[in-house]
Structure 1
Amino acid sequence: MDDRKRLGQLEELMAEMIRRQDQTKETLQNLSQTVGNLTETVSNLAETMGSLLETAGNLAETMGSLLETVGNLAETTGNPAETVNQLAQNTVSRQGFEYFSNAILGYFERTEARRVRADFPAGKDR
């Protein structure tokens, strides 16, 4: 009887080991699937980041073109403030215009400051 009891315990132990092995196998499959999903997510994020950087580059290029256009208009009129006022008359969004005009005026101020520094280096008289 003692051997049958031990054999029963051994069978229960084997069944428990098989159950745990199956659970471990399932857990590893789930982890593998999760890693695959994370890899795909990271790939999608990298692609999105690339698109965002491309968009930012396009916006920077557009802003540069706009500033160049405004610069050309200012040269034509000879007066940056006049150019900004002309643009204001053709602008639908006042808030957007204010932002844009501040950017333009800042551009002209920086450009003028660079020109003055180039024309009158520190410590030099003309």
Structure 2
Amino acid sequence: MRYVVLIHVDENVSEEPPAGLIDAMFAHVADQRHAKVVTDAGLKPTSAAIRVASRGGKVMMTDGPFAEAKEVVGGFMLIQAATAEDAVAWTRGFVDLHAEHWPGLEVVTELRQVAGSLTNN
């Protein structure tokens, strides 16, 4: 089963992640006991984003940053796991790394099973 892990962070944190965290994340991604990372990506800040929205039948585009945004999706990973429990264990390990290496940063993840595919692949 495929799951998307959405990683929510406070966009106002300006410090760089500790080097130990980056190394630990690479090791976690390489360890496939619970899940295999299919796609992983960090995201640029909302200052480099464009919001496209439809309201009242009109399409509007707004360049970032977005003043009302504090907590944003800072990254995502698409993982492959045999069970929901394995997906949770993998995600828990990812969050544990942040708590260990960067205790001052609040990280919230959202784990959601992928419902289907838009392609025939």
TMscore range, shorter length? under 0.3
Q: Which has the higher contact order (CA 8 A, sep 6+)?
A: 2
Q: What TM-score results when the alignment is normalised by the length of structure 2?
A: 0.22
Q: What TM-score results when the alignment is normalised by the length of structure 1?
A: 0.22
Q: Which has the higher strand share?
A: 2
